Protein backbone atom coordinates (compact mmCIF):
# COMPACT_ATOMS: atom_id res chain seq x y z
CA UNK A 1 0.00 0.00 0.00
CA UNK A 2 1.32 3.44 -0.88
CA UNK A 3 1.95 5.73 2.09
CA UNK A 4 0.97 9.39 1.65
CA UNK A 5 2.05 12.03 4.19
CA UNK A 6 0.62 15.51 3.80
CA UNK A 7 1.26 18.78 5.60
CA UNK A 8 1.05 22.46 4.79
CA UNK A 9 2.75 25.71 5.72
CA UNK A 10 0.42 28.63 6.42
CA UNK A 11 0.71 32.10 7.87
CA UNK A 12 -2.24 31.24 10.10
CA UNK A 13 -0.86 28.17 11.86
CA UNK A 14 0.79 28.25 15.29
CA UNK A 15 4.36 27.78 14.06
CA UNK A 16 4.11 31.02 12.09
CA UNK A 17 3.08 33.09 15.12
CA UNK A 18 6.43 34.44 16.28
CA UNK A 19 6.43 37.57 18.51
CA UNK A 20 7.68 40.64 16.72
CA UNK A 21 7.60 39.06 13.25
CA UNK A 22 5.04 38.97 10.47
CA UNK A 23 3.31 35.55 10.20
CA UNK A 24 3.49 35.84 6.42
CA UNK A 25 7.28 36.33 6.50
CA UNK A 26 7.70 33.45 8.97
CA UNK A 27 5.59 31.11 6.82
CA UNK A 28 7.57 31.98 3.68
CA UNK A 29 10.82 31.39 5.58
CA UNK A 30 9.58 27.99 6.75
CA UNK A 31 8.64 27.01 3.18
CA UNK A 32 12.08 28.05 1.89
CA UNK A 33 13.74 26.08 4.71
CA UNK A 34 11.76 22.98 3.73
CA UNK A 35 12.87 23.34 0.09
CA UNK A 36 16.47 23.66 1.24
CA UNK A 37 16.12 20.63 3.51
CA UNK A 38 14.77 18.22 0.87
CA UNK A 39 17.40 19.44 -1.61
CA UNK A 40 20.43 19.22 0.68
CA UNK A 41 19.49 16.60 3.27
CA UNK A 42 22.64 14.51 4.03
CA UNK A 43 22.89 11.15 2.37
CA UNK A 44 24.87 9.06 -0.08
CA UNK A 45 22.50 10.03 -2.90
CA UNK A 46 23.18 13.77 -2.50
CA UNK A 47 25.69 15.27 -4.96
CA UNK A 48 27.94 18.12 -3.77
CA UNK A 49 25.67 20.79 -5.28
CA UNK A 50 22.51 19.21 -3.91
CA UNK A 51 19.71 17.11 -5.40
CA UNK A 52 17.90 18.31 -8.51
CA UNK A 53 14.16 18.96 -8.77
CA UNK A 54 11.70 17.96 -11.47
CA UNK A 55 8.17 19.06 -12.38
CA UNK A 56 5.49 17.97 -14.85
CA UNK A 57 7.66 18.75 -17.89
CA UNK A 58 11.30 19.32 -16.96
CA UNK A 59 14.09 17.60 -15.06
CA UNK A 60 17.40 18.61 -13.45
CA UNK A 61 15.95 21.85 -12.04
CA UNK A 62 17.90 23.60 -9.29
CA UNK A 63 14.90 24.83 -7.29
CA UNK A 64 15.50 28.56 -7.83
CA UNK A 65 12.22 29.00 -9.68
CA UNK A 66 10.38 27.28 -6.80
CA UNK A 67 11.97 29.50 -4.16
CA UNK A 68 11.22 32.56 -6.28
CA UNK A 69 7.56 31.54 -6.70
CA UNK A 70 7.24 31.04 -2.92
CA UNK A 71 8.62 34.52 -2.23
CA UNK A 72 6.27 36.11 -4.77
CA UNK A 73 3.09 34.59 -3.30
CA UNK A 74 0.78 37.36 -2.20
CA UNK A 75 -2.28 36.93 0.01
CA UNK A 76 -2.46 33.16 0.19
CA UNK A 77 -3.82 31.30 3.21
CA UNK A 78 -1.46 28.40 2.52
CA UNK A 79 2.06 29.13 1.30
CA UNK A 80 2.89 25.56 0.28
CA UNK A 81 1.64 21.98 0.62
CA UNK A 82 4.16 19.26 1.52
CA UNK A 83 3.46 15.75 0.25
CA UNK A 84 5.64 12.67 0.72
CA UNK A 85 4.92 9.73 -1.60
CA UNK A 86 6.33 6.44 -0.28
CA UNK A 87 5.29 3.60 -2.62
CA UNK A 88 5.17 0.04 -1.29
CA UNK A 89 7.11 -1.16 -4.35
CA UNK A 90 9.85 0.98 -5.84
CA UNK A 91 8.56 2.29 -9.22
CA UNK A 92 10.53 1.71 -12.38
CA UNK A 93 10.56 5.48 -12.91
CA UNK A 94 9.80 7.57 -9.83
CA UNK A 95 9.48 10.73 -11.91
CA UNK A 96 6.85 9.18 -14.17
CA UNK A 97 5.12 7.78 -11.09
CA UNK A 98 4.97 11.23 -9.46
CA UNK A 99 3.87 13.00 -12.64
CA UNK A 100 0.98 10.62 -13.19
CA UNK A 101 -0.28 11.09 -9.62
CA UNK A 102 0.04 14.90 -9.75
CA UNK A 103 -1.68 15.02 -13.14
CA UNK A 104 -4.65 13.10 -11.76
CA UNK A 105 -4.72 15.34 -8.70
CA UNK A 106 -4.84 18.43 -10.96
CA UNK A 107 -7.71 16.89 -12.92
CA UNK A 108 -9.52 16.01 -9.69
CA UNK A 109 -9.17 19.57 -8.36
CA UNK A 110 -9.94 21.17 -11.71
CA UNK A 111 -6.93 23.52 -11.52
CA UNK A 112 -3.37 23.56 -12.84
CA UNK A 113 -1.10 22.84 -9.89
CA UNK A 114 2.33 24.42 -9.68
CA UNK A 115 4.61 21.83 -8.11
CA UNK A 116 8.18 20.57 -7.98
CA UNK A 117 9.54 17.34 -6.50
CA UNK A 118 12.80 15.67 -5.50
CA UNK A 119 13.73 12.00 -4.99
CA UNK A 120 15.29 10.67 -1.79
CA UNK A 121 17.18 7.40 -2.24
CA UNK A 122 19.22 7.44 0.97
CA UNK A 123 16.86 5.37 3.14
CA UNK A 124 15.77 1.75 3.18
CA UNK A 125 12.49 2.81 1.54
CA UNK A 126 12.86 5.29 -1.30
CA UNK A 127 10.38 8.17 -1.41
CA UNK A 128 9.55 11.42 -3.21
CA UNK A 129 9.02 14.87 -1.67
CA UNK A 130 6.54 17.10 -3.54
CA UNK A 131 6.06 20.82 -2.86
CA UNK A 132 2.84 22.38 -4.20
CA UNK A 133 2.32 26.13 -4.15
CA UNK A 134 -0.72 27.30 -2.16
CA UNK A 135 -1.96 29.28 -5.20
CA UNK A 136 -1.90 28.47 -8.88
CA UNK A 137 -0.77 30.95 -11.51
CA UNK A 138 -4.27 32.48 -11.66
CA UNK A 139 -4.37 33.18 -7.92
CA UNK A 140 -6.78 30.34 -7.12
CA UNK A 141 -6.23 28.71 -3.71
CA UNK A 142 -5.17 25.06 -3.66
CA UNK A 143 -6.88 22.92 -1.04
CA UNK A 144 -5.82 19.34 -0.22
CA UNK A 145 -7.79 17.54 2.48
CA UNK A 146 -7.97 14.07 4.00
CA UNK A 147 -10.45 12.90 1.37
CA UNK A 148 -7.68 13.21 -1.23
CA UNK A 149 -5.27 10.85 0.55
CA UNK A 150 -7.13 7.69 -0.45
CA UNK A 151 -7.24 8.89 -4.06
CA UNK A 152 -3.50 9.56 -4.10
CA UNK A 153 -2.83 6.05 -2.77
CA UNK A 154 -5.26 4.53 -5.27
CA UNK A 155 -3.62 6.30 -8.23
CA UNK A 156 -0.20 5.13 -7.02
CA UNK A 157 -1.43 1.53 -6.70
CA UNK A 158 -2.87 1.60 -10.23
CA UNK A 159 0.47 2.81 -11.60
CA UNK A 160 2.38 0.05 -9.82
CA UNK A 161 -0.15 -2.60 -10.87
CA UNK A 162 0.40 -1.56 -14.47
CA UNK A 163 4.20 -1.12 -14.44
CA UNK A 164 5.31 -3.71 -11.83
CA UNK A 165 2.42 -6.19 -11.55
CA UNK A 166 4.33 -9.16 -10.14
CA UNK A 167 6.19 -7.20 -7.46
CA UNK A 168 3.06 -5.29 -6.46
CA UNK A 169 0.99 -8.48 -6.18
CA UNK A 170 3.62 -10.15 -4.00
CA UNK A 171 3.97 -7.06 -1.80
CA UNK A 172 0.21 -6.99 -1.25
CA UNK A 173 0.13 -10.72 -0.47
CA UNK A 174 3.02 -10.29 1.95
CA UNK A 175 1.25 -7.43 3.73
CA UNK A 176 -1.98 -9.45 4.02
CA UNK A 177 -0.02 -12.49 5.20
CA UNK A 178 1.64 -10.47 7.97
CA UNK A 179 -1.74 -9.13 9.09
CA UNK A 180 -3.18 -12.66 9.19
CA UNK A 181 -0.16 -13.93 11.13
CA UNK A 182 -0.50 -11.07 13.60
CA UNK A 183 -4.18 -11.88 14.21
CA UNK A 184 -3.40 -15.59 14.54
CA UNK A 185 -0.71 -14.72 17.07
CA UNK A 186 -3.26 -12.75 19.08
CA UNK A 187 -5.61 -15.75 19.06
CA UNK A 188 -2.83 -18.01 20.34
CA UNK A 189 -1.96 -15.48 23.04
CA UNK A 190 -5.58 -15.38 24.20
CA UNK A 191 -5.73 -19.18 24.25
CA UNK A 192 -2.48 -19.30 26.26
CA UNK A 193 -3.99 -16.82 28.75
CA UNK A 194 -7.11 -19.00 28.96
CA UNK A 195 -5.01 -22.09 29.68
CA UNK A 196 -3.21 -20.14 32.38
CA UNK A 197 -6.54 -19.19 33.97
CA UNK A 198 -7.61 -22.85 33.81
CA UNK A 199 -4.33 -23.87 35.46
CA UNK A 200 -4.87 -21.36 38.27
CA UNK A 201 -8.46 -22.54 38.76
CA UNK A 202 -10.02 -19.28 37.58
CA UNK A 203 -11.86 -20.89 34.66
CA UNK A 204 -13.35 -24.31 33.96
CA UNK A 205 -11.98 -25.96 30.78
CA UNK A 206 -15.22 -27.73 29.88
CA UNK A 207 -17.53 -24.75 30.33
CA UNK A 208 -18.70 -23.49 26.94
CA UNK A 209 -18.53 -19.70 26.54
CA UNK A 210 -21.96 -19.65 24.93
CA UNK A 211 -23.46 -21.38 27.98
CA UNK A 212 -21.89 -18.72 30.20
CA UNK A 213 -23.21 -16.01 27.90
CA UNK A 214 -26.73 -17.45 28.16
CA UNK A 215 -26.55 -17.54 31.96
CA UNK A 216 -25.30 -13.98 32.31
CA UNK A 217 -27.77 -12.54 29.81
CA UNK A 218 -30.60 -14.85 28.67
CA UNK A 219 -31.56 -14.67 25.03
CA UNK A 220 -34.95 -13.09 25.77
CA UNK A 221 -33.40 -10.14 27.63
CA UNK A 222 -30.66 -9.72 25.04
CA UNK A 223 -33.21 -9.75 22.19
CA UNK A 224 -35.23 -6.94 23.80
CA UNK A 225 -32.09 -4.81 24.13
CA UNK A 226 -31.18 -5.41 20.48
CA UNK A 227 -34.65 -4.39 19.32
CA UNK A 228 -34.38 -1.18 21.36
CA UNK A 229 -30.98 -0.44 19.79
CA UNK A 230 -32.36 -1.00 16.28
CA UNK A 231 -35.26 1.37 16.94
CA UNK A 232 -32.86 4.02 18.24
CA UNK A 233 -30.65 3.65 15.13
CA UNK A 234 -33.62 4.16 12.84
CA UNK A 235 -34.68 7.24 14.81
CA UNK A 236 -31.15 8.65 14.53
CA UNK A 237 -31.10 8.11 10.76
CA UNK A 238 -34.43 9.88 10.36
CA UNK A 239 -33.60 12.69 12.75
CA UNK A 240 -31.87 15.89 11.70
CA UNK A 241 -30.01 15.89 15.00
CA UNK A 242 -28.20 12.71 13.98
CA UNK A 243 -25.85 14.84 11.88
CA UNK A 244 -24.47 16.60 14.94
CA UNK A 245 -22.69 13.54 16.36
CA UNK A 246 -19.48 14.28 18.26
CA UNK A 247 -16.36 14.09 16.14
CA UNK A 248 -14.16 11.10 16.92
CA UNK A 249 -10.46 10.70 16.34
CA UNK A 250 -9.14 9.75 12.93
CA UNK A 251 -7.42 6.58 14.14
CA UNK A 252 -8.64 3.64 16.20
CA UNK A 253 -6.88 0.89 18.14
CA UNK A 254 -8.10 -2.64 17.35
CA UNK A 255 -6.58 -6.13 17.19
CA UNK A 256 -3.31 -4.83 18.57
CA UNK A 257 -2.76 -2.29 15.79
CA UNK A 258 -3.61 1.28 14.86
CA UNK A 259 -6.08 1.66 11.97
CA UNK A 260 -7.24 4.68 9.99
CA UNK A 261 -9.10 5.56 6.80
CA UNK A 262 -5.75 5.22 5.02
CA UNK A 263 -6.06 1.42 5.23
CA UNK A 264 -7.52 -0.31 2.18
CA UNK A 265 -11.17 -1.34 2.10
CA UNK A 266 -10.23 -5.04 2.14
CA UNK A 267 -8.13 -4.53 5.30
CA UNK A 268 -10.94 -2.62 7.04
CA UNK A 269 -13.51 -5.27 6.09
CA UNK A 270 -11.21 -8.01 7.38
CA UNK A 271 -10.87 -6.11 10.65
CA UNK A 272 -14.67 -5.82 10.85
CA UNK A 273 -15.05 -9.60 10.40
CA UNK A 274 -12.34 -10.20 13.00
CA UNK A 275 -14.17 -8.02 15.55
CA UNK A 276 -17.44 -9.88 14.90
CA UNK A 277 -15.72 -13.25 15.43
CA UNK A 278 -13.82 -12.22 18.59
CA UNK A 279 -16.21 -10.73 21.11
CA UNK A 280 -13.51 -10.18 23.70
CA UNK A 281 -11.71 -7.79 21.32
CA UNK A 282 -14.71 -5.58 20.55
CA UNK A 283 -13.90 -1.87 20.50
CA UNK A 284 -15.94 1.06 21.93
CA UNK A 285 -19.12 1.87 19.93
CA UNK A 286 -17.87 5.32 18.94
CA UNK A 287 -14.70 3.90 17.39
CA UNK A 288 -16.66 1.10 15.71
CA UNK A 289 -18.94 3.70 14.11
CA UNK A 290 -15.83 5.36 12.73
CA UNK A 291 -14.65 2.07 11.21
CA UNK A 292 -18.02 1.48 9.50
CA UNK A 293 -18.06 5.08 8.22
CA UNK A 294 -14.64 4.57 6.61
CA UNK A 295 -15.83 1.40 4.86
CA UNK A 296 -19.00 3.10 3.61
CA UNK A 297 -17.03 6.06 2.26
CA UNK A 298 -14.61 3.77 0.43
CA UNK A 299 -17.51 1.80 -1.05
CA UNK A 300 -19.13 5.02 -2.30
CA UNK A 301 -15.81 6.12 -3.81
CA UNK A 302 -15.41 2.71 -5.50
CA UNK A 303 -18.86 2.83 -7.11
CA UNK A 304 -18.36 6.47 -8.16
CA UNK A 305 -15.15 5.57 -9.98
CA UNK A 306 -16.80 2.58 -11.64
CA UNK A 307 -19.69 4.77 -12.78
CA UNK A 308 -17.31 7.36 -14.23
CA UNK A 309 -15.39 4.68 -16.15
CA UNK A 310 -18.51 2.93 -17.45
CA UNK A 311 -21.88 4.54 -16.66
CA UNK A 312 -23.77 1.42 -17.79
CA UNK A 313 -22.12 -0.94 -15.28
CA UNK A 314 -21.98 -1.53 -11.55
CA UNK A 315 -24.03 1.00 -9.68
CA UNK A 316 -24.01 1.22 -5.93
CA UNK A 317 -26.85 -0.88 -4.45
CA UNK A 318 -29.60 1.24 -2.98
CA UNK A 319 -30.00 1.09 0.78
CA UNK A 320 -32.44 -1.72 1.53
CA UNK A 321 -34.63 -1.03 4.55
CA UNK A 322 -36.09 -4.56 4.36
CA UNK A 323 -34.41 -7.25 6.41
CA UNK A 324 -33.36 -9.32 3.40
CA UNK A 325 -30.85 -9.47 0.55
CA UNK A 326 -29.75 -11.82 -2.21
CA UNK A 327 -26.35 -13.39 -2.73
CA UNK A 328 -25.57 -15.59 -5.76
CA UNK A 329 -29.26 -16.21 -6.37
CA UNK A 330 -30.04 -17.18 -2.75
CA UNK A 331 -32.33 -15.10 -0.56
CA UNK A 332 -31.34 -14.43 3.05
CA UNK A 333 -33.34 -12.71 5.77
CA UNK A 334 -33.55 -12.50 9.55
CA UNK A 335 -35.61 -15.73 9.66
CA UNK A 336 -32.99 -17.81 7.80
CA UNK A 337 -31.70 -20.82 9.71
CA UNK A 338 -28.36 -20.75 11.50
CA UNK A 339 -27.06 -23.50 9.21
CA UNK A 340 -27.93 -21.50 6.08
CA UNK A 341 -26.27 -18.35 7.46
CA UNK A 342 -23.19 -20.33 8.50
CA UNK A 343 -22.89 -21.74 4.99
CA UNK A 344 -22.96 -18.19 3.57
CA UNK A 345 -20.35 -17.12 6.13
CA UNK A 346 -18.04 -19.91 4.93
CA UNK A 347 -18.55 -18.78 1.31
CA UNK A 348 -17.63 -15.19 2.17
CA UNK A 349 -14.40 -16.37 3.78
CA UNK A 350 -13.19 -18.09 0.62
CA UNK A 351 -10.36 -16.33 -1.26
CA UNK A 352 -11.58 -14.02 -4.03
CA UNK A 353 -15.20 -14.46 -2.91
CA UNK A 354 -17.71 -11.79 -3.90
CA UNK A 355 -18.03 -9.43 -0.94
CA UNK A 356 -21.24 -8.07 0.51
CA UNK A 357 -21.75 -4.30 0.83
CA UNK A 358 -21.12 -3.19 4.38
CA UNK A 359 -24.82 -2.50 5.10
CA UNK A 360 -25.80 -6.03 4.09
CA UNK A 361 -22.83 -7.57 5.87
CA UNK A 362 -23.72 -5.85 9.14
CA UNK A 363 -27.29 -7.15 8.87
CA UNK A 364 -26.04 -10.63 8.05
CA UNK A 365 -23.71 -10.81 11.08
CA UNK A 366 -26.50 -9.50 13.29
CA UNK A 367 -28.82 -12.27 12.04
CA UNK A 368 -26.09 -14.85 12.73
CA UNK A 369 -25.70 -13.63 16.28
CA UNK A 370 -29.48 -13.73 16.84
CA UNK A 371 -29.71 -17.27 15.41
CA UNK A 372 -26.73 -18.45 17.45
CA UNK A 373 -28.12 -17.06 20.69
CA UNK A 374 -31.52 -18.59 19.93
CA UNK A 375 -29.85 -22.01 19.56
CA UNK A 376 -28.39 -21.76 23.05
CA UNK A 377 -31.45 -20.20 24.69
CA UNK A 378 -32.51 -22.32 27.69
CA UNK A 379 -29.70 -24.82 27.13
CA UNK A 380 -29.12 -25.38 30.85
CA UNK A 381 -32.79 -26.06 31.54
CA UNK A 382 -32.92 -28.51 28.66
CA UNK A 383 -29.82 -30.34 29.89
CA UNK A 384 -31.26 -30.59 33.40
CA UNK A 385 -34.53 -31.96 32.03
CA UNK A 386 -32.68 -34.54 29.92
CA UNK A 387 -30.66 -35.64 32.97
CA UNK A 388 -33.85 -36.06 35.01
CA UNK A 389 -35.43 -38.13 32.24
CA UNK A 390 -32.33 -40.35 31.91
CA UNK A 391 -32.24 -40.87 35.68
CA UNK A 392 -35.94 -41.77 35.68
CA UNK A 393 -35.48 -44.24 32.82
CA UNK A 394 -32.51 -45.85 34.55
CA UNK A 395 -34.51 -46.30 37.72
CA UNK A 396 -37.45 -47.78 35.80
CA UNK A 397 -35.09 -50.21 34.04
CA UNK A 398 -33.51 -51.36 37.29
CA UNK A 399 -36.90 -52.05 38.91
CA UNK A 400 -38.45 -53.75 35.88
CA UNK A 401 -38.90 -57.59 35.78
CA UNK A 402 -36.45 -57.76 32.87
CA UNK A 403 -33.70 -56.51 35.13
CA UNK A 404 -33.52 -60.02 36.73
CA UNK A 405 -32.79 -61.79 33.47
CA UNK A 406 -31.15 -65.26 33.45
CA UNK A 407 -27.32 -65.34 33.59
CA UNK A 408 -25.28 -68.39 32.64
CA UNK A 409 -23.74 -69.83 35.88
CA UNK A 410 -20.40 -70.39 34.12
CA UNK A 411 -20.37 -66.78 32.87
CA UNK A 412 -21.30 -65.53 36.34
CA UNK A 413 -18.47 -67.58 37.91
CA UNK A 414 -15.91 -66.27 35.39
CA UNK A 415 -16.95 -62.64 35.85
CA UNK A 416 -16.68 -63.04 39.64
CA UNK A 417 -12.95 -63.62 39.18
CA UNK A 418 -11.30 -60.17 39.78
CA UNK A 419 -8.56 -60.81 37.18
CA UNK A 420 -11.08 -61.70 34.46
CA UNK A 421 -13.28 -58.78 35.45
CA UNK A 422 -10.35 -56.34 35.21
CA UNK A 423 -9.40 -57.80 31.82
CA UNK A 424 -12.96 -57.44 30.49
CA UNK A 425 -13.15 -53.88 31.78
CA UNK A 426 -9.86 -52.98 30.01
CA UNK A 427 -11.09 -54.61 26.81
CA UNK A 428 -14.29 -52.57 26.98
CA UNK A 429 -12.31 -49.32 27.38
CA UNK A 430 -9.97 -50.25 24.52
CA UNK A 431 -12.95 -51.05 22.30
CA UNK A 432 -14.48 -47.66 23.07
CA UNK A 433 -11.22 -45.86 22.29
CA UNK A 434 -10.85 -47.68 18.98
CA UNK A 435 -14.40 -46.63 18.03
CA UNK A 436 -13.36 -43.01 18.53
CA UNK A 437 -10.48 -43.24 16.03
CA UNK A 438 -11.36 -41.75 12.64
CA UNK A 439 -9.94 -44.21 10.10
CA UNK A 440 -10.81 -42.05 7.11
CA UNK A 441 -8.10 -40.24 5.17
CA UNK A 442 -9.07 -36.62 5.79
CA UNK A 443 -6.01 -35.11 4.14
CA UNK A 444 -6.82 -32.56 1.48
CA UNK A 445 -4.14 -33.50 -1.02
CA UNK A 446 -5.25 -30.86 -3.52
CA UNK A 447 -4.81 -28.17 -0.88
CA UNK A 448 -1.36 -29.54 -0.03
CA UNK A 449 -0.46 -29.41 -3.73
CA UNK A 450 -1.72 -25.81 -3.91
CA UNK A 451 0.44 -24.84 -0.91
CA UNK A 452 3.48 -26.47 -2.53
CA UNK A 453 2.82 -24.57 -5.78
CA UNK A 454 2.52 -21.27 -3.94
CA UNK A 455 5.77 -21.97 -2.07
CA UNK A 456 7.48 -22.72 -5.40
CA UNK A 457 6.08 -19.53 -6.89
CA UNK A 458 7.28 -17.50 -3.90
CA UNK A 459 10.78 -18.99 -4.13
CA UNK A 460 10.96 -18.35 -7.86
CA UNK A 461 9.88 -14.74 -7.33
CA UNK A 462 12.67 -14.30 -4.80
CA UNK A 463 15.08 -15.45 -7.50
CA UNK A 464 13.45 -13.07 -9.99
CA UNK A 465 13.96 -9.95 -7.86
CA UNK A 466 17.65 -10.64 -7.15
CA UNK A 467 19.73 -7.78 -8.60
CA UNK A 468 22.39 -10.08 -10.05
CA UNK A 469 19.93 -11.93 -12.31
CA UNK A 470 20.43 -11.36 -16.03
CA UNK A 471 17.66 -10.41 -18.44
CA UNK A 472 17.49 -13.95 -19.85
CA UNK A 473 17.32 -15.50 -16.38
CA UNK A 474 14.54 -13.11 -15.39
CA UNK A 475 12.64 -13.99 -18.56
CA UNK A 476 12.91 -17.69 -17.67
CA UNK A 477 11.83 -16.94 -14.09
CA UNK A 478 8.78 -15.05 -15.30
CA UNK A 479 7.87 -17.89 -17.67
CA UNK A 480 8.15 -20.38 -14.79
CA UNK A 481 5.98 -18.16 -12.59
CA UNK A 482 3.33 -18.02 -15.31
CA UNK A 483 3.38 -21.85 -15.59
CA UNK A 484 2.97 -22.14 -11.83
CA UNK A 485 0.04 -19.69 -11.96
CA UNK A 486 -1.63 -21.90 -14.58
CA UNK A 487 -1.10 -24.96 -12.37
CA UNK A 488 -2.60 -23.10 -9.39
CA UNK A 489 -5.66 -22.17 -11.47
CA UNK A 490 -6.08 -25.80 -12.59
CA UNK A 491 -5.75 -26.93 -8.98
CA UNK A 492 -8.42 -24.42 -7.96
CA UNK A 493 -10.80 -25.63 -10.69
CA UNK A 494 -10.29 -29.25 -9.64
CA UNK A 495 -11.02 -28.40 -6.01
CA UNK A 496 -14.23 -26.67 -7.04
CA UNK A 497 -15.23 -29.69 -9.13
CA UNK A 498 -14.65 -32.10 -6.28
CA UNK A 499 -16.49 -29.84 -3.86
CA UNK A 500 -19.52 -29.82 -6.18
CA UNK A 501 -19.38 -33.64 -6.47
CA UNK A 502 -19.35 -33.98 -2.69
CA UNK A 503 -22.32 -31.62 -2.38
CA UNK A 504 -24.24 -33.64 -4.98
CA UNK A 505 -23.45 -36.89 -3.14
CA UNK A 506 -24.54 -35.33 0.15
CA UNK A 507 -27.81 -34.10 -1.38
CA UNK A 508 -28.42 -37.55 -2.93
CA UNK A 509 -27.76 -39.21 0.42
CA UNK A 510 -30.05 -36.76 2.22
CA UNK A 511 -32.84 -37.44 -0.30
CA UNK A 512 -32.39 -41.16 0.28
CA UNK A 513 -32.78 -40.67 4.05
CA UNK A 514 -35.87 -38.46 3.73
CA UNK A 515 -38.69 -40.75 4.97
CA UNK A 516 -41.33 -38.03 4.71
CA UNK A 517 -41.66 -38.47 0.93
Mean pLDDT across the stretch 263-292? 82
pLDDT of amino acid 414: 57
Cα separations (Å) of 164 from 49, 161, 460, 473?
Answer: 33, 6, 16, 17
Domain ranges of the chain: 3-145, 454-512
3-state secondary structure 455-497: HHHHHHHHHHCCCCCCHHHHHHHHHHHHHHHHHHHHHHHHHHH
> What's the pLDDT at 153?
86
φ, ψ for residue 222 (rounded to 5)? -65, -40
3-state secondary structure of 7: strand
pLDDT at 249: 43
Predicted local distance difference test score (pLDDT) of residue 96: 92
Query: How would residue 117 be classed by pLDDT, with cut points 50, 70 and 90?
Result: very high
User: By 3-state DSSP, what share of the chain in percent is helix, strand and coil, each rounded to 5?
Assistant: 60, 10, 30
Alpha-carbon 159 to chain mean position: 23
Report field, pTM of the whole predicted structure over 0.85: no
Average pLDDT over residues 251-272: 82
* pLDDT tens-place string over residues 479-488: 787 888 888 8
How many whole angstroms separate alpha carbon 286 and alpha carbon 296? 16
What distance in Å separates the CA atoms of residue 151 and residue 81, rounded to the nearest whole number?
16
With beta carbons less than 8 A apart as the criterion, state whether 361 and 272 touch: yes
For the segment 35-51, the average pLDDT, to the nearest whole number, is 80
pLDDT over 60 at 356, yes or no: yes
pLDDT at 122 over 80: no
- 253, β-bridge pairs: 258
Query: Rounded CA gap, 478 and 482, in Å?
Result: 6
Q: Where are the beta strands (DSSP E) in 391-472?
A: none
DSSP codes of every residue in 84-144: EEE-SS--S-HHHHHHHHHHHHHHHHTS---EEEEEE-SSSS-EEEEEEESB-TTS-B---
pLDDT of residue 429: 57
Average pLDDT over residues 472-491: 80
pLDDT (tens digit, 9 = 90+) per residue, 396-449? Answer: 666 655 555 545 565 556 556 655 555 565 566 556 555 555 555 556 777 777
pLDDT given for residue 425 in this prediction: 58
β-pair partners for 251: 260
Beta strands in 227-354 (DSSP E): 251-254, 257-260, 324-327, 330-333
**CA–CA distance, 98 with 25 (Å, rounded to integer):** 30
Least confident of 235-239, 388-392, 441-445, 513-517: 513-517
CA-CA distances (angstroms) from residue 74 to 11, 69, 131, 441?
Answer: 11, 10, 17, 78
The string over 387-418, giving b where at least 16 C-beta atoms fall within 10 Å of a residue's C-beta and e elsewhere, is eeeeeeeeeeeeeeeeeeeeeeeeeeeeeeee
* CA distances, 419 to each of 70, 411, 414, 422, 500 (Å): 101, 14, 9, 5, 54
* Closest by Cα among 348, 347, 340 to 367: 340
Residue 142 above 70 pLDDT? yes
pLDDT at 386 over 60: yes
* For range 105-127, the mean pLDDT: 83
| Residue 133: partners with Cβ closer than 8 Å, 6 or more residues away | 69, 70, 73, 79, 80, 81, 113, 114, 115, 142
Amino acid sequence: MNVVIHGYISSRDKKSRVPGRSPKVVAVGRALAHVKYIQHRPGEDRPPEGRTFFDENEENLDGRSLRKAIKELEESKVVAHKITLSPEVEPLDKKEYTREIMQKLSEEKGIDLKWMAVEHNNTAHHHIHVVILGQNEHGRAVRIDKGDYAKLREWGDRHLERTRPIEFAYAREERERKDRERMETRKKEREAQRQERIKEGLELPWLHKKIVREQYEPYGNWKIKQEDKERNRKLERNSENARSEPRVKETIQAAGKEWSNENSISELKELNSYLWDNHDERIPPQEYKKLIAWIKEKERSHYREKAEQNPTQEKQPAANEKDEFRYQGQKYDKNSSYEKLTKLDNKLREPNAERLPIEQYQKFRGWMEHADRARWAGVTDRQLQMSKEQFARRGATETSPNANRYVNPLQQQMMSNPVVGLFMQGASIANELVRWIDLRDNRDRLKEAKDDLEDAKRNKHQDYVKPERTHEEKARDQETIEDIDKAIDENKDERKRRRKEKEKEREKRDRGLDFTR
